Chains A and B, each alone.
Chain A
Amino acid sequence: MSIQDNKYKHWKLELDEANILWLHMDVAESKVNLLSSAVIDELNAILDDIKKQLPQGVIILSDKKDSFIFGADIKEFTELENQQQAVTFLERGHALMNKLESISCPTVSMIHGMCLGGGTELSLACRYRVMSDENCSRIGLPEIKLGIFPGYGGTVRSIRRAGPLAAMNMMLTGSALPTRVAKKIGLIDEAVPLRQLKHAARHFVMDAPKLKQPGLVQRVANYRILRPLVAAQMRKQVARKAKQQHYPAPYRLIELWKNYASNPEQMLQQEIKEVSKLAINETARNLVRVFFLQEALKKQGKQVEYKARHVHVIGGGIMGGDIASWCAIQGYTVSVQDQSPERLAQTTKRAQTSFKKKYKKDRRAITAASDRLIMDHKGIGVAQADLVIEAIFENAEVKRELYQNIEPRMKEGAILATNTSSIKLEDLSSCLKNPGRLVGLHFFNPVALMPLVEIIHGNNTDPNVLQQASSFARNIGKLPLPVKSSPGFLVNRILMPYLLEAVIMVDEGIAPESIDKAATDFGMPMGPIELADTVGLDICKNVASILSKTMNMELPKNLEQIVKIGHLGKKTGSGFYQYKNGKVQKNKKVQHKNIQEIQDRMIMKLLNESVACLREGIVENADMIDAGVIFGTGFAPFRSGSIHHIHDQGIEKLVNKMIQLEKRFGERFKPDEYWQKLKV
C-alpha cells in the first residue's frame, strides 16, 4: 500500500517531487474542519502508514477556505455520560497526538485562518508551526470557555513552546491570538504572508531548523520552587473574572501546572484525569449549552441572504454614533445624520476614539474606517441607504414626524429600523405608507461590547424584513434575537424588576455593597446597584416608569428622589455609590447576615419575569429566553439561562420560595400562573 492512496474521506494525501507529504484536511460534508472521532481515526491510520515509509517531511494543511481547524466536535463532547467515557474519549486524542509527535521526519502545521482547540493541540504535536499573518488567522485554546481546559495534550505542549506565563495566560483567558502575538510568544515558529506560506512550510521541512526555546523569564517561572508563587498570582488574576465555585476549570488548570509541570509525562496523564472530571460536571454542560444557544442565535441571522451596502443612522448621540462607528468598523458605508455640524463633530470624535480602541496603532485601518463614516447633517444618505437606523430620543411623536419625512425619500425595499427601547412598534409604524418595513434593532450600551441585538417585530412587520434585520445583525458580528414588540421587549423587561427590587432594598436600608455582593455571588457579572449607576439612574428611571405602567410595578421613591437631586450615577460622580475618577468607591467592611434572602428577592423577580415572558410568547421558546438573559444581561453563564436554572433548581422549590416571599413582602412576589405549566 502506498501512502498516496486516497482512500480517506476527510484527508487527501499528496506526495510532491521533493518527497514531502502534503496532508490536506478537508472534512466531508462540513464547511469547517472539526476533529471528530472519524477524522481522528483516519489520521491515526495515515500516521501508521507514514511511519512505515517515511517521507522527507509531512505538512498538514486545510483545504477549507480561510480556516484551519476549529477544534474538536463539541457535539461528541455532549454525548459523554460518565467520567470513564470521557477518559476514553480523551485518551484517543492523546494517542493520536503522541503518535504525530513521535514521527521522526520533520512535521509542519501550515496554518491559515482559524486554528482553535484541538486544532491548536494538533499543530503543537507537529515539530513546527508556520502561520499566515492575514487578518482571518487566529490561534488559541478556548476550551476554558466551555468549562474545561485543553485535553489533547495542549497544556503540556503549549507551555513547552511558549513558556508557562504566556501559555497559561492564553489558556486561562481562552483568547484566540493573532499571528503576530502567537509568533512573539513562540507558540508558532514563523509568521508570513499567505503568499509565502507554502514556501515557509517547505523550508521548515527541508532545513529542519533547531526549535527556539522560551525566554529566560518563562523558563524560570517553571522552576518548582517558584511555581506556587506564580500560581497564586494566576489565581488572583482569574478570581477577578470568575469565582472558583462557579468556574472550577481555570483553578484546576493552575493546580495541574503547579503540581506537575516538572514531569510532562505525568502532566499529560493528569490532564486526562482532570479534564475528564470537568467535562462531565454541570458547569461544563451548561457552558456547552450556552455555546449552542449562541449558535442558535447565529442561525437566526442566516435564514435569508441580506447584503446591505449603505447604512444611514439618524441621531449621532451615544447610541446612534456608536452604532454608526460599529457598522463602519464592520465594513459598511455609513452616513450619520444629526441636526447640526456641532453635534456631528462630537460624533466624529467619539467614533475616532472607538476606531483607535479597535485598531490600536494601525493608522491604515483607522483611516479606512473613518473614510467609510460620512457625517451628513443634511440627511442626503437617506436616499442611498439600504437600511436606515433611527436612534433619536424616545418620543413617539417626534419619531413619527421623522418617519413621515424620510419615507418618501427612502429607496424601495430599504428597511427602516428603530433603536427604541420602550416604544411599541405599532405606535410608530402607523404613520408609514409601508408599515411592514419598520423593525426594531435594539442595541445595548456599550455597542462595541454587548453581543446581543434584539430584533423587534410588531404586528405589521414584514416577516422578510424581520429576517433581513436579523441577518444584518449577524453580518455586523452581533447575535440577533427576534423579540415581539411589547413593553421592555425581553432584556429590559426581565432586568428591570430585578433592578428595582435591588433599589427597594436600598430604600429599606440594606447597603448597596451587600446587594451587589448577593448578585455577584449568584454569578451576575456586576451587581444591580452598580449596574444602575453605570447605565445612568435617569435612564433607569425612564425605562422603569414606562414599564411600570404595563407591568404593575411601582417606581421606588428613592429612585425618583436621587434622580431629582441630579445624582445620576457614574456619569455625575455620584449615584447610589460615590465615584472617584470613574472608579466606584465601595465600603469593603459592610456585612449582611442574610445575603441569601437578598439574593432570592432579586433573582426570584428575574426568574418570575422570565416565566411571564415565556407565557406571553415574547420570544420563540425557552431557549431564546435563556440566550437573551445570558447575552443581554450577562446572567450567570454557568447557570445556562433563567429558564434552565428554574428546571435545574426544581420548579416546586422555587414556587415555594416565591410564596414565602409573597407572604413577607407582598403581592409583587406572586408567582406567575405559568410556573405550573412549566412542569409539562
Chain B
Amino acid sequence: MASKNVYIVDGSRSPQLKARGRQGPFSASDMAVQTARPLLLRNSAAAENIDEVILGCMMPGPDEANIARVVALRLGISQRVPAWTVQRNCASGMQSIDSAFHNIKSGLSDIVLAGGVEVMSHAPLLLNSHMVNWMGGMATARSPMMKIKQLSKLRPHFLKPVIALIRGLTDHVVGLNMGQTAEEIAYRFNISRAQMDEYAVASHQRLAQAYDNGALDEVEVLYDSNGNFYAEDDGLRRDSSVENLARLRPAFDRNYGNVTAGNSAQITDGASWLILASEKAVKKYNLSVLAKISDTQWAGLDPKVMGMGPVHAMTPIMQRNKLSIDDIDYWEINEAFATQVLGCVAAWNEDTYCKEHLKLKKAMGTIPHDRLNIDGGGISLGHPVGASGARIILHLAKLLERKKAKRGLASLCIGGGQGGAMLIEREEKLEQQ
C-alpha cells in the first residue's frame, strides 16, 4: 500500500573526526555501527521491524563490499532484512534517504534505516598502472632469466602511489579539482577572499555555540579500543578569526586563488543515520516523529560550477510547492566551500542567473544568513562525502523541532555537476501524539 506521508522518526550521527595525515581510529563500518547502536536501542519498536537498510558511501574499505549489508549484519539486524549501498558522490547520504523515501512512498517498505558514512582518512594509496603491469609481468615470468629481465624494467616512478582521495575529489571530465570549481564560482559571482573567510569564521562560531547550547544532541559518543572517546567534531576551531584565515595560502589555484583549506570543508570521517517510517508504521508502532519528508529533487548542471547544484535542485521544489523564501524557516546548504554557499545565495539574488539557468522570470530572492546553516556546517565540522547528505537532513529535522518551526530545506552540491534538495516539514498534530 502506498504511503501518503514519509516520516523521519529519529536519527543519530557520529562526531566528525578530522583526517590528520594518518588513518583515523575507525573503519567506515565501525563508525556506522557505533553511531547506529544507540539509535536502534532507543527506538526498539522500529528497530525490530526494519524492512531494509540503505547506506551511502563513496569509499568503503576493501573488506566492506556492499558496506550497508556489512553494517546491518554487524548491528544484529535480522539476516532476512536486505541492505544496499548507494552512491551519488557528495550526495550519497542524501541519496540513501531519497531511496528510502521512494520505497516507503510506493509501499515497498514501511521502516527503513538509511544514512551515510565516509571514512576519508582511510582512503587508500593505490599502485600506479606502471607498477600494476610490472607486477603482472613478474608474476607471469617463468624462467629465472625472464625474471631478471623483468626486474631490470623496474623504474623509480613506478613506486609513486596514486592517492585515491585526491583522484576522488577531482572531476576528470572537465579536468578540475573540486577547489578549482569553487574558484570558478568566486570568479563568476565576484566573491572576495574576505567574504569567504568571514563566512568560514561564522561557521566555526555557530558550531561552537550550538555545542554550548546543547543543540547537537544527535551526536553520539564513539569509543575506540584504546580507551579514547570522541564526543564532539574535532575540526571545530573556537579561535578561528578572519586574521588567522587570511594567512593561509590558496590550496587549489596556486598563487592567485582565494579558496584555502580554511574556507573549504574539512576532510573528515563521519556517519549519520535516520530511521524513516510510513504513516502506517508510525501508527502501528506508536512511533514519535521529528518531521515528514515532503519533496525531493535532483538536478544536473555544468560540472565546472558543480557548487551551484543547490539552487538548481531547490528551485523546482520551491516552484512545485509554490513556496517563497519566506515560507522556509531554516536552510541547510552543505558547506563544501564558503564561496560555493555564497555563490548559491548570490545566484538566487540575481535576475540574470535565475532567468538564464533556472528558467525563472526574475530573481528568487535572498536567503537570510541567520536562517542558513545556523549551527555550522562543512567548514567547521567537515564533509565526509558519503555522510553529509544524511547529516544535514537529520540536523534540519532536529532544528525544526528545537525551534518549533514548520518547514526546512536541505540541499547540497555534488561533484560532477549535480545538486540535491529535500523539503521537510514538521506537523504540529503529530508532535502531540
Contact = CB atoms under 8 A, between A and B. Distances in A.
Interface of A: 333, 335, 341-342, 344-346, 348-349, 352, 367-368, 370-372, 374-378, 380-381, 383-384
Q: Which of B37, B41, B221 has the most CB of A within 10 A?
A: B41
Nearest to A378: B38
A377 B75 CA distance: 19
A371 B42 CA distance: 16
Contact of B227 (A348, A380, A384): A348
A377 B41 CA distance: 13
27 contacts: A333-B76, A341-B223, A341-B229, A341-B231, A344-B221, A344-B223, A345-B227, A346-B227, A348-B224, A348-B225, A349-B225, A352-B225, A367-B74, A368-B74, A371-B33, A371-B74, A372-B76, A374-B37, A375-B223, A376-B38, A378-B38, A380-B38, A380-B41, A380-B42, A381-B41, A383-B44, A384-B41
Contacts of A378: 38
B221 A375 contact: yes
Contact of B221 (A335, A341, A380): A341
B38 A342 contact: no
Interface in B249-296: none
Contacts of A349: 225-227
B228 interface: yes
B229 A342 contact: yes
A368 B41 CA distance: 17
Contacts of B231: 341
Given A371-B76, A372-B76, A335 B41 contact: yes
A384 to B, nearest CB: 5
A451 to B, nearest CB: 28
A374 B41 contact: yes
B225 A370 contact: yes
Contacts of A344: 221, 223, 229
A370 B76 CA distance: 12
A345 B41 contact: no
Contacts of A346: 227
Nearest to A346: B227
Interface in B71-85: 74-76
A369 to B, nearest CB: 11
Nearest to B76: A333
Contacts of B41: 335, 374, 376, 380-381, 384
Contacts of A342: 229
A678 to B, nearest CB: 52
A348 B223 contact: yes
Q: Across the A-B interface, give the 10 residue pairs with the lowest CB-CB distance, nearest first.
A: A349-B227, A345-B229, A352-B225, A348-B223, A341-B229, A380-B42, A341-B221, A371-B74, A374-B37, A345-B227
Contacts of B223: 341, 344-345, 348, 375
Nearest to A348: B223
Interface string B18-53: 000000000000000100011001101000000000
Contacts of A368: 74
A333 B76 CA distance: 9
Contacts of B75: 371
A88 B283 CA distance: 74
A271 to B, nearest CB: 49
A376 B229 CA distance: 12
B49 to A, nearest CB: 15
Interface in B206-252: 221, 223-229, 231
A380 B44 CA distance: 11
A384 B74 contact: no
Nearest to B42: A380
Contacts of B225: 348-349, 352, 370
A286 B16 CA distance: 61
Nearest to A377: B221
Contacts of B38: 374, 376, 378, 380
Q: Which of B223, B226, B231 has the most CB of A within 10 A?
A: B223
Contacts of B42: 380, 383
Given A341-B229, A368-B74, 18 more contacts: A335-B41, A341-B223, A341-B231, A344-B221, A344-B223, A349-B225, A349-B227, A367-B74, A370-B225, A371-B33, A371-B74, A374-B41, A375-B223, A377-B221, A378-B38, A380-B38, A383-B44, A384-B44
A508 B41 CA distance: 57
B88 to A, nearest CB: 28
Q: Which of B33, B42, B225, B228 has the most CB of A within 10 A?
A: B225
A194 B42 CA distance: 39
Contacts of A384: 41, 44
A345 B228 contact: yes
Nearest to B39: A380
A333 B74 CA distance: 12
B84 to A, nearest CB: 20
Interface in B308-360: none
A533 to B, nearest CB: 26
Contacts of A367: 74
A375 B226 CA distance: 14
Contacts of B44: 383-384
A370 B224 CA distance: 10
A521 B423 CA distance: 79
Contacts of B76: 333, 371-372
Contacts of A345: 223, 227-229
Contacts of B33: 371
A626 to B, nearest CB: 41
Contacts of A381: 41
Nearest to B37: A374
A333 B75 CA distance: 10
A349 B41 CA distance: 22
Nearest to A312: B41
A377 B221 CA distance: 9
A440 to B, nearest CB: 26
A344 B228 CA distance: 9
B365 to A, nearest CB: 42
Nearest to A309: B76
A600 B74 CA distance: 56
Nearest to B44: A384
A371 B30 CA distance: 9
Nearest to A372: B76
Nearest to A351: B225
A381 B40 CA distance: 10
Contacts of B221: 341, 344, 375, 377
B206 to A, nearest CB: 24
Nearest to A342: B229
Interface in B403-423: none
A344 B42 CA distance: 19
Contacts of B74: 367-368, 371
B261 to A, nearest CB: 30
Interface in B179-207: none
B238 to A, nearest CB: 20
B14 to A, nearest CB: 13
A354 to B, nearest CB: 11
A346 B224 CA distance: 10
B29 to A, nearest CB: 9
Interface in B159-189: none
A14 to B, nearest CB: 34
A345 to B, nearest CB: 4
A506 B332 CA distance: 73
Nearest to A363: B63
Contacts of B37: 374
A198 to B, nearest CB: 26
A377 B33 CA distance: 17
A542 B74 CA distance: 42
A284 to B, nearest CB: 46
Contacts of A372: 76
A342 B229 CA distance: 7
B9 to A, nearest CB: 15
A341 B225 CA distance: 13
B65 to A, nearest CB: 15
Nearest to A352: B225
B41 to A, nearest CB: 5
